[in-house]
Amino acid sequence: RELGMRAMLTRGSMSLGEKDGGLPPQQTVQEGQVILDDSQRLIHQYHERGDGAQIQIALAPCSPFSVTPEIMSASAELANELDVRLHTHLAETLDEEDFCLQRFGLRTVDYLDSVGWLGPRTWLAHGIHFNPDEIARLGQAGTGICHCPSSNMRLASGICPSIELTDAGALFGLGVDGSASNDASNMILEARQALYIQRLRYGAAKITPERVLGWATRGSASLLGRTDIGELAVGKQADLALFKLDELRFSGSHDPVSALLLCGADRADRVMIGGKWRVIDGQVEGLDLRHLIADHSQAARQLIAGS
């Protein structure tokens, strides 16, 4: 709030630890009722509704590796009751598919359906390993897919089938995943990665800079259920990111929109959120950046020492 940013914050959860056949270390696991009670607390305390909402809360059981079916189902019921969105990681790796088959006797999309998640309230990170029938079902349900190309390349997970998903009717946007598999977490660079990796799959004619920027803006807003952001239009929120094109790397460009991705823009010069300037001349208003970096570096050193 101090920085004036918008955020969809997710209440993550893990309830299936190593001793019960899950992936998470036991110290990260919580009891189901603790998860549900805290989810309700956060929604009631922080979730804002309507156009211009600044802080919103979604429920985000981590993945089939990490959460029991009971928590998946209960989270879906709570999200329906309180009208918030659902998020998880799905079909990222073939190991995950094998896990679902072995533990639940279901492929990932069948599992998603069995716990009440196959619908327009849900958006999924990654969405790589779907077969044609599953893609059709995701599209019919209006479920969203968040493509995370840098993470997928770093972990060699695979390439998200973007064209098939969007042709089927699935909502489609971009994300950076998390710090465990993306050290930059830079959205405009993520769009550049999406352009390149998707061209490997579909060719340059189908994957244009305009299409990918649409995924990053309108598409990503749709994943969050937002109709008031993601494009410049009358009646929308005045959210702007302005990039300077006067650096040497842009000097040969003839199309400024394409140049944002092809020439590697990586830092906005000005950012407006809700009609207020929050970044001016590349600097975040009201932020002591040097102090933040020092605190961050110290915390990282303490974390390493503690491990």
| CATH number of the domain where residue 265 is located | 2.30.40.10
**99 plus 131 within the same structural domain:** yes
Provide the 10 A C-beta neighbour count for residue 246: 7
pLDDT at 180 (0 to 100): 86
Report the pLDDT averaged over residues 198-221: 98
> How would residue 51 be classed by pLDDT, with cut points 50, 70 and 90?
very high
Is 2 contained in some domain? no
> How would residue 86 be classed by pLDDT, with cut points 50, 70 and 90?
very high
pLDDT at 278 over 90: yes
Tell me the residue range of the domain where 259 lies. Answer: 238-307
pLDDT at 306 (0 to 100): 82
pTM: 0.94
> How would residue 36 be classed by pLDDT, with cut points 50, 70 and 90?
very high
**168 plus 196 within the same structural domain:** yes
Domain boundary among 182, 201, 236: 236
Who contacts 235 (Cβ-Cβ below 8 Å, separation ≥6)? 228
Report the pLDDT averaged over residues 147-174: 97
| CATH number of the domain where residue 231 is located | 3.20.20.140
Distance CA 266, CA 278 (A): 17
Report the pLDDT averaged over residues 183-210: 97
